[in-house]
Chain A
Amino acid sequence: MPIYEQTYRRHQARASLRRVRFWPITREALRLILARRLFLVLLFVACIPFLARVIQIYVVTRFPEAGRILPVDGRLFGEFLLQQWLWMLVITIFGGAGLIANDLRTGAILVYLSRPLTRRDYVLGKLGVLMLLNLSVTFVPGLLLYLIALALAPDQFLKWDLAWIGPAIVLQSAVMSLVMSLVGLAVSSLSRSARVAGIGFFAVVAGLEVARGILYAMYRRPETALISVRASLQALATALFGLSERAVSLPWFYPAGLLAVVALGCLLVLRSRVRAVEIVQ
C-alpha cells in the first residue's frame, strides 16, 4: 500500500478574485517566447545600435571635433528610437504574430475565457507581452543611452534646456511600442495561422510605407506621412526631438491623432475577434 497517494482531492480554500488578472497570461507567453534561442539572439542583435550609439557618444566626448560628422545632441535619441523601429517590426512579427492566432487555432482561447477572466484581461495579457518586448528595445536602451550620455558628457547634457530629452524618450518609446503592439495583436486576431498573421502584419506596415513613399515622390507633401504608421511615428519623433526630416515634418497633433485612430481601430478589431464563440451572421 502506498504511504502517500498522489491523487485528486477536493480543495476547499477558494481564493478571492485577483485584481491584476492579466499578469499570468503575460508571464507565461513571455516564458514561451524567450525559451526560443533564436528570439534571444534577435534581442541581442537589437542591442547593437545601442552599443554603436554609446561608442558614438564616447568618441565625441573624447574627440569633440568628431561631433561635426557625428553630432551628439537631443536629436541623437530620436534618431536612435526610429532606428529601433526595425527591430520592433521583427520582434512583433516573430513574437507577436502567434499570440492570438495560435490560441484561435488550438482552441486555447476557451481555456482563457472559461476562467474568471474578462476579454479585456486576455487582451491586456497579450498586449503586455508585446509591450514588454518592444519597450525592451526602445525605452530601456533609449533611457540607458540618455543616462550614459549624462554620465559621459554632463557639461553637454546636464542642462535645463535639455531636460525634455528624458520625457521625450519615454513618450516616443511608449507610443511606438503601443501602436506597433496593438497593430500586431489586431492582425494576429484576424487569422488562425501565426505565419499568415506575421506576413499580414508585415504587408500592412511595409505596404503602407511603400504607398507613402510613392505618394511623397509624386506630391512632395509631408501630409502623405499620415497614411503610414511608420511615417506617422517618424513625424511624431521629428516633432518631439526636433529632427530635420522634411518629408514628415508636421505639427505633432497630426501624427498623434492618426496614431490614436489606428490604436482605436485595433481595439475595435480585437473586441470583435476575441470571443469564445464565433458568430457568423
Chain B
Amino acid sequence: MDEAPLVEFKDLVVSYGAVPALAGVSGAIFPGPTGLLGPNGAGKTTLLKTLLGFLEPDRGTLTAFGLDPTKQSLEVRRRIGYMPEVDCHLPGMTAAAFVAFAGELSGLPRDEAISRAHEVLYYVGLGEARYRTVDTYSTGMKQRAKLAQALVHDPDLLLLDEPTNGLDPSGREEMLALIRGISERRQMSLILCSHLLRDVEQVCENVLVFNLGRVAAAGRIADLTGPRRAVYDVRVKGDPAAFLTDLKDQGCEWREGEDGYRVFLGDGAGPELIFRMARESGVQVRFLRPGAETLEDVFLRALGHETQA
C-alpha cells in the first residue's frame, strides 16, 4: 500500500473495566473500503469506539488522520461519520429534521445542514418519507436514516457498525449497494464492521479479521483468498475416515463443507492426488470441483477452527 494509512494502531489494549476487549492489537486501515470481520465480542466495535474517542486505551497508540482520538477527539469526530449498531433516533423528529440536526451538530451552518439533509435522504432512498417521524419508520428505513445522519456532513471516513442488522434479504442487498456506491462513486473511505462474511466480501477491498480481541488476519481480500493453495470440493461414497487420514499424511488439509469436504492440497499437488488417495482407501469420488479459498476459509482459519491437518 503506497498511501498513508487513515487509521493506525499499535499494541492497542482497551478494556471495559476488568474485561479486556482489545488485547494488544496492531494494524492499519488504508483509504478505501475496509471490513472488520469477526464473531460477536471479537473487539470490532471496541476499535470503532476507541477511534471515536469513547474509550481510552489502557496501552498502545491509535491515530486517525494522524490525530490522537483521545486528545483531539473533536477534530477526529468532525471527519468521521458513525452509523451505530444500535437503533438511534430522536423521538418526535422527522427524518429531514433529524438529519439536518445531525449535520448542524457536526458543524454545518443551519441552512446548509437542511439542504444537505434533503440530498442525503434522497440518496438513501427516503426522499418521499423524509417528513415522517423516524419513530414510525420500519427497521430498514431506520437503518437508512442512520446512514443518512452519518453521511450528512460528508465525512472523510464512514464507520458502519453492522449496517445490515435486522434487514430482510432485499433490504440488505439495497443497503450494501448503497454502501458500495458511497465507496466507489463518492470516493469515500469506510470501515464496515460486520460478522457477516458476505457483507464484507461485497463491499470491501481490505479486511481485518478479529478474534478474541486480536487481529487474526489482515490484508487485501484478493490476496488473502487468492490461489495460494489448490482447493477442491469433494464428495465421496464409502467410509471417508481412511481417505481423509491418507490426505492428511500427504500434507493436505480438509474441513467439512456443506455437502462433502473442502480439501486444501499441499504445494505442487494436483487433483490426481485426491483420486489416488481415494483409490487406495477404497472410496469412490462422486464429485470433484476446483475452487478458490473464500473469505470464509480465511475467516475460519484465522479463528483457528478450520481445517484438520
Contacts of A6 in B (CB 8 A): 118-119, 122, 127
Given the known A-B contacts A6-B122, A14-B78, A279-B16, are A117 and B105 also in contact in the complex, defined by CB atoms under 8 Å? yes
Partner of B90, one of A7, A11, A15, A111: A111
Q: Measured between alpha carbons, how far is A43 from B154 in the docked complex, in Å?
A: 40
Q: Measured between alpha carbons, how far is A279 from B112 in the docked complex, in Å?
A: 37
Q: How large is the interface on B (under 10, 10 to 19, 20 to 34, 35 or more residues)?
A: 35 or more
A114 touches B89 (CB 8 A): no
CB distance from A100 to the nearest CB of B (A): 12
B149 touches A276 (CB 8 A): no
Given known contacts A7-B119, A107-B84, A114-B77, what 7 new A-B pairs fall within 8 Å (CB)?
A8-B123, A8-B151, A21-B105, A32-B90, A111-B102, A111-B105, A111-B149
Report A's interface with B, CB cutoff 8 A: 6-12, 14-18, 21, 24-25, 28, 32, 35, 98, 102-103, 106-118, 275-277, 279-281
- Residue of B at shortest CB range from A102? B91
B185-220 contacts to A, CB under 8 A, are: 186-188
Q: Measured between alpha carbons, how far is A275 from B78 in the docked complex, in Å?
A: 18
Binds A, one of B48-56, B248-256, B272-280, B289-297: B48-56
Contacts of B75 in A (CB 8 A): 17, 116
A7 touches B101 (CB 8 A): no
Contacts of A277 in B (CB 8 A): 16, 49, 54-55
Q: Measured between alpha carbons, how far is A34 from B123 in the docked complex, in Å?
A: 31
CB distance from A62 to the nearest CB of B (A): 48
Contacts of B17 in A (CB 8 A): 279-281
B104-127 contacts to A, CB under 8 A, are: 104-110, 112, 116, 118-120, 122-124, 127
Given the known A-B contacts A15-B109, A28-B101, are A8 and B127 also in contact in the complex, defined by CB atoms under 8 Å? no
- Residue of B at shortest CB range from A29? B90
CB distance from A183 to the nearest CB of B (A): 23
- Assess whether B270 is interfacial by the CB under 8 Å rule: no
